[in-house]
Amino acid sequence: MDDLIMVGYNFYLYRMQGIKIPIYAPLAGHYIIVGGSGSGKSTSILYWLYKAKKNVSDLYIADFKASREFEGISEHYAEFDACYELIKLYYKAFLTTPEGGNGKIRILLIDEIAGLLTYYSISKEGKQKADEIRQMMSSILMLGRSRKCFLWLSMQRYTASIFPASSGSADNFHVSVGLGKLTVDGRKGLFAGEHFEGEDELQFGQGKGIILIDGQPLRGIIIPKVSKKKLLELLQK
């Protein structure tokens, strides 16, 4: 059975009844988190890493906009243009990983992936890099589970242009999270137009939103905060 990590609490039950019911998701899965600036994407990811790190053998972090939120967590860390080479490095590890992954879990976290692809798409040479990144991500999404290699993506707005329209890559995410107020198209792209009872009564804000876990119903979620300092202390033990 896949290892489970606690990704947050049921927001509806917490908001309406004051009951903290944990929500668990498989660590062995592809994650996507979407939310505007200040919605709590980075703190949410830090919390998930805090819960998951003891079970993750390799973590690669592409921090395109150099937010520094994840600096120091992994030796495989890159900013700006260096993100391209880091993604290629992870992809090489993915290609050489046998079926079953030798029991190890590898994660590639790309923060602000939409911004990274837009940046590269400005020039002809950059566009080739953007297309190459899309292809690498598509391969990881479709074949990664059997090798225990997973993709975690973070972005401010969800857009289908991140992947080739015919690839079906976006359907391979096992955990989708939307924080704060999402656009109509963004919400539809993440959750296929699904709704849950009581959703209209909730006021979403920082660290609060909607989660869809493969094989489970759509729910509201509230994600606790954990400081990077606390995560680093855990890594040093």
Label the pairing between strands 31-34 and 149-155: parallel
Residue 104 reports pLDDT greater than 70 = yes
Look at 23-37, 109-123, 152-166 and tell me which has the smallest mean pLDDT.
152-166
Q: DSSP H helical segments within 37-153, as ranges? A: 41-52, 82-95, 113-120, 124-147
**Cα–Cα–Cα angle for 38, 75, 108, rounded to 5 degrees:** 60
3-class SS of residue 193: coil
Is the distance from CB of 176 to CB of 158 less than 8 angstroms? no
Residue 54 main-chain phi, psi, to 5 deg: -65, -15
Residue recorded with tokens 């592409």? 62
Q: In the chain, count of helices (H) and strands (E)? A: 7, 10
193-236 pLDDT tens trace: 788 888 887 788 899 999 999 999 999 999 999 988 888 887 77
Residue 79 reports pLDDT greater than 80 = yes
Question: Pick from 38, 208, 20: which is nearest to 199 by CA?
Answer: 208
Rounded to the nearest 5 percent, the helix, strand and coil shares of the chain are 40, 25, 35
Is the distance from CB of 28 to CB of 148 less than 8 angstroms? yes
Question: Pick from 188, 180, 198, 135: which is nearest to 159 by CA?
Answer: 188
Residue 136 reports pLDDT greater than 90 = yes
3-class SS of residue 235: helix
Tokens standing for 183?
Answer: 């656009």
Residue 154 reports pLDDT greater than 60 = yes
Tokens standing for 148?
Answer: 């225990």
| Residue 166's pLDDT band (cuts 50, 70, 90) | low
Query: CA–CA separation, 232 vs 234, rounded Å?
Result: 5
Is the distance from CB of 174 to CB of 33 less than 8 angstroms? no
| Residue 128's pLDDT band (cuts 50, 70, 90) | very high
Average pLDDT over residues 99-124: 89
3-41 pLDDT tens trace: 899 999 999 888 877 889 999 999 999 999 999 989 999
Is the distance from CB of 106 to CB of 94 less than 8 angstroms? yes
pLDDT at residue 1 in the model: 40
Question: Pick from 77, 82, 218, 60: which is nearest to 144 by CA?
Answer: 60
